[in-house]
């Protein structure tokens, strides 16, 4: 469900987002963590594009390291640990799947080329040189007695260092371009999408007032790079269409309807548009305007056409749940899970809904089983929070305290976790739970050491 911000542990983000963010990092030395969105339909779409590219490049693939960012700018980038981030603006402004494939192949080139680590080392070197320039500026001030001379030394050095960083980045951009074209060719895909998307970035930068100066852009463009793309399109051939093109229409409709103002969504998908993707957008617009019955009728029409689409049932479940129709929502979520049992997002939504139901006793064990399975596949703090509630409602207080302690650890509330572990022990837990509590205690001790 795209309207919810994903509850994730942001520790990996605190290490820094390197690729394509260097000009911001180096010039301003701060970076605001972007908001991560969770939407299984969109994330699965991205993964279906990324997985064959990663395989071709020899890069290890983990779907849990593919992330969607609520940012309307044209961008995608990678960070430590092969995490790949795609801006919602990139998905909304791309013309087709071939463009998305091209830009993600480019990002894969950064990963395969080891650019993240090398750029980190480059930044460290430049930071050392920057410190030396400040010392030199101080010496100038002492020797001359003039603060303006010292400022000139400091600013001149900083500008030189920034230009050095951006020139270094440009060489890696060219390297990523070459890798992307190679991956696309191996997969029988055209480089036309990559060329067109880079042109779109270039056009948007100009409209925003940027000059054709690669030192002040996170995606430096040049005539040399554009000529390279033109040649690759002619020489390599490949398809510009994709089996995912129809899916992409629904992805764009969904993102538009959830993230853009209603007026803009209806300009893109006017009410007279009777296509299925327009109907998808209209249903979400009706939901946002609290026209729940109308939204559900539209979803029923879509389900009648695509009865095996798990995302339609998931969205219908959301509409019903937020309209207070918990039992009907549970049925929709259950159907969605039966069609796609691996969906962590639907599992969490189903659990939230079940725990809010008036007569939820029949659902509790199912919720506990599903959440425990989810924790093995992709541990999250929110799942532990829901498990704590499920165990409590089932009358399993020690298990509830253990789940609460795990949740406390994941949100870095260590002292509360220690108290919850102690309370769980006082309830005479089972032997298996005692082992889990001991493991958690040892984990906390090791972290402290």
Tell me: pLDDT of 19 over 60. Answer: no
114 phi, psi to nearest 5 deg: 65, 25
Q: How confident is the model at residue 284 (pLDDT cuts 50, 70, 90)?
A: very high
* Runs of H (alpha helix) within 145-215: 147-186, 192-207
Question: Rounded to whole angstroms, how far apart are CA atoms 167 and 84?
Answer: 23
**H or E segment and range at residue 77:** strand 76-79
The encoded tokens of residue 444 equal 């906390």
The pLDDT, as a whole number, for residue 2 is: 42
Question: Rounded to whole angstroms, how far apart are CA atoms 59 and 296?
Answer: 42
79 phi, psi to nearest 5 deg: -135, -175
Tell me: pLDDT of 283 over 70. Answer: yes
The pLDDT, as a whole number, for residue 449 is: 67
Residue 48 forms part of a structural domain: yes
The encoded tokens of residue 126 equal 């430049």
The encoded tokens of residue 42 equal 């969109």
Specify whether the CB–CB gap between 433 and 402 falls below 8 A: yes
- Kindly report, residue by residue over 22-45, the tens digit of the pLDDT: 222 222 233 344 588 999 999 999
Q: Which domain holds residue 208?
A: 11-236
- Kindly report, residue by residue over 291-341, the tens digit of the pLDDT: 999 999 999 999 999 999 999 999 999 999 999 999 999 999 999 999 999
Question: Rounded to whole angstroms, how far apart are CA atoms 174 and 57?
Answer: 16
Tell me: pLDDT of 151 over 80. Answer: no
Q: How confident is the model at residue 342 (pLDDT cuts 50, 70, 90)?
A: very high
Q: Which residues of 285-307 are buried (b: 16+ CB within 10 A; e: fewer)?
A: bbbeeebbeebbebbeebbeeee
Question: Rounded to whole angstroms, how far apart are CA atoms 348 and 337?
Answer: 11
Specify whether the CB–CB gap between 397 and 426 falls below 8 A: no
Tell me: pLDDT of 217 over 90. Answer: no
| Cβ-proximal residues to 263 (8 Å cutoff; 6+ apart), any chain | none
Specify whether the CB–CB gap between 85 and 77 falls below 8 A: yes
The pLDDT, as a whole number, for residue 168 is: 46
The pLDDT, as a whole number, for residue 34 is: 58
Give the mean model confidence (pLDDT) for residues 384-408: 97
Specify whether the CB–CB gap between 298 and 283 falls below 8 A: yes
Rg value, the chain, Cα: 26
Q: 427-431: long-range contacts at Cβ-Cβ below 8 A with a sequence spacing of 24 or more?
A: 427/397, 427/398, 427/401, 428/398, 429/398, 429/399, 429/402, 430/398
Residue 371 forms part of a structural domain: no
Give the mean model confidence (pLDDT) for residues 344-351: 97
Task: Give me the residue label for tokens 């395989």.
Answer: 55
Tell me: pLDDT of 344 over 80. Answer: yes
The pLDDT, as a whole number, for residue 198 is: 82
Residue 318 forms part of a structural domain: no
Question: Rounded to whole angstroms, how far apart are CA atoms 141 and 159?
Answer: 19
* Lowest-confidence region among 108-112, 243-247, 370-374, 386-390: 108-112
Question: Rounded to whole angstroms, how far apart are CA atoms 423 and 440?
Answer: 14
Higher-confidence residue of 210 and 65: namely: 65
**209 conformational bin, left if phi > 0, alpha if psi -120 to 50, beta if neither:** left
The pLDDT, as a whole number, for residue 292 is: 95
Question: Rounded to whole angstroms, how far apart are CA atoms 62 and 10?
Answer: 17
Tell me: pLDDT of 356 over 70. Answer: yes
* Lowest-confidence region among 13-17, 89-93, 427-431, 432-436: 13-17
- Kindly report, residue by residue over 125-140, the tens digit of the pLDDT: 444 444 444 444 444 4
When divided into structural domains, the chain yields a total of: 1
Residue 329 forms part of a structural domain: no
Specify whether the CB–CB gap between 22 and 123 falls below 8 A: yes
The pLDDT, as a whole number, for residue 369 is: 97
* Lowest-confidence region among 143-157, 307-321, 372-386: 143-157
* Lowest-confidence region among 149-158, 189-198, 275-284, 400-409: 149-158
Cα four-point dihedral sign 25, 204, 197, 91: positive
| Cβ-proximal residues to 110 (8 Å cutoff; 6+ apart), any chain | 19, 78, 116, 172, 176
Residue 224 forms part of a structural domain: yes
For the chain, give the percent of residues with pLDDT over 70.
Answer: 76
* Lowest-confidence region among 2-11, 133-142, 155-164, 413-422: 2-11
Q: How confident is the model at residue 220 (pLDDT cuts 50, 70, 90)?
A: low
Specify whether the CB–CB gap between 190 and 98 falls below 8 A: yes
Cα four-point dihedral sign 256, 259, 264, 265: positive
The pLDDT, as a whole number, for residue 313 is: 98
Question: Rounded to whole angstroms, how far apart are CA atoms 24 and 43?
Answer: 27
| Cβ-proximal residues to 278 (8 Å cutoff; 6+ apart), any chain | 253, 269, 270
- The pTM of this model reads 0.81
What is the rounded average pLDDT for all residues in the chain? Answer: 82
Q: How confident is the model at residue 142 (pLDDT cuts 50, 70, 90)?
A: very low
Question: Rounded to whole angstroms, how far apart are CA atoms 56 and 392?
Answer: 47
207 phi, psi to nearest 5 deg: -65, -25
The pLDDT, as a whole number, for residue 387 is: 98
Give the mean model confidence (pLDDT) for residues 393-401: 97
- Kindly report, residue by residue over 153-192, the tens digit of the pLDDT: 444 444 444 444 444 466 778 888 999 999 999 999 999 9
Residue among 243, 78, 61, 101 at smallest CA distance from 184 = 101
* Lowest-confidence region among 106-115, 126-135, 372-381: 126-135
- Half-sphere exposure at residue 430, Cβ-oriented, CA atoms within 13 angstroms: 7
Residue 399 forms part of a structural domain: no
Residue 165 forms part of a structural domain: yes
Residue 163 forms part of a structural domain: yes
Chain centre distance of CA 414: 27
C-alpha triplet 82, 77, 164: angle, nearest 5°: 105
Question: Rounded to whole angstroms, how far apart are CA atoms 213 and 385?
Answer: 49
- Kindly report, residue by residue over 306-317, the tens digit of the pLDDT: 999 999 999 999
For the chain, give the percent of residues with pLDDT over 90.
Answer: 65
């Amino acid at each position: 469900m795209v309207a919810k911000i994903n509850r994730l542990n942001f520790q990996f983000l605190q290490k820094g987002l390197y690729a394509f963010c260097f000009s911001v990092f180096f010039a301003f030395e701060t970076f605001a963590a972007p908001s991560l969105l969770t939407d299984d339909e969109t994330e699965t779409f991205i993964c279906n594009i990324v997985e064959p590219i990663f395989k071709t490049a020899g890069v290890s693939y983990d779907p849990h390291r593919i992330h969607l960012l609520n940012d309307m700018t044209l961008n995608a980038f990678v960070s430590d640990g092969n995490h790949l981030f795609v801006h919602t603006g990139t998905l909304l402004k791309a013309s087709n799947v071939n463009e998305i494939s091209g830009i993600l192949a480019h990002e894969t080139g950064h990963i395969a080329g080891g650019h993240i680590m090398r750029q980190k080392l480059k930044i460290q070197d430049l930071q050392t040189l920057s410190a030396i320039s400040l010392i030199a500026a101080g010496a100038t001030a002492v020797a001359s007695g003039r603060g303006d001379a010292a400022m000139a030394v400091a600013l001149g050095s900083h500008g030189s260092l920034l230009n050095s960083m951006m020139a270094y980045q440009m060489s890696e951009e060219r390297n990523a371009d070459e890798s992307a074209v190679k991956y696309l060719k191996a997969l029988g895909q055209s480089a036309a999408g990559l060329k067109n998307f880079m042109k779109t970035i270039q056009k948007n930068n100009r409209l925003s007032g940027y000059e054709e100066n690669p030192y002040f852009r996170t995606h430096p463009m040049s005539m040399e790079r554009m000529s390279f793309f033109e040649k690759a399109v002619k020489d390599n051939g490949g398809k510009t269409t994709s089996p995912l093109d129809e899916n992409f229409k629904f992805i764009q409709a969904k993102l538009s309807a959830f993230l853009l103002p209603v007026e803009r969504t209806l300009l893109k998908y006017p009410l007279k548009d009777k296509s299925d993707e327009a109907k998808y957008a209209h249903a979400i617009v009706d939901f946002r305007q609290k026209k729940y019955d109308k939204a559900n009728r539209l979803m029923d029409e879509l389900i009648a056409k695509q009865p095996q689409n798990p995302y339609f049932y998931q969205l219908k479940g959301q509409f019903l749940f937020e309209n207070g129709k918990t039992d009907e929502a549970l049925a929709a979520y259950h159907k969605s899970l039966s069609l796609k049992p691996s969906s962590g997002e639907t599992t969490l939504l189903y659990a939230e809904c079940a725990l809010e139901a008036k007569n939820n006793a029949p659902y509790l064990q199912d919720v506990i089983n599903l959440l425990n399975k989810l924790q093995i596949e992709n541990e999250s703090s929110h799942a532990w929070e829901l498990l704590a509630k499920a165990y409590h409602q089932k009358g399993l207080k020690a298990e509830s305290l253990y789940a609460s302690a795990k949740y406390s650890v994941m949100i870095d509330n260590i002292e509360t976790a220690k108290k919850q572990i102690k309370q769980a022990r006082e309830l005479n837990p089972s032997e298996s739970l005692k082992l889990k509590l001991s493991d958690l205690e040892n984990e906390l001790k090791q972290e402290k050491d």
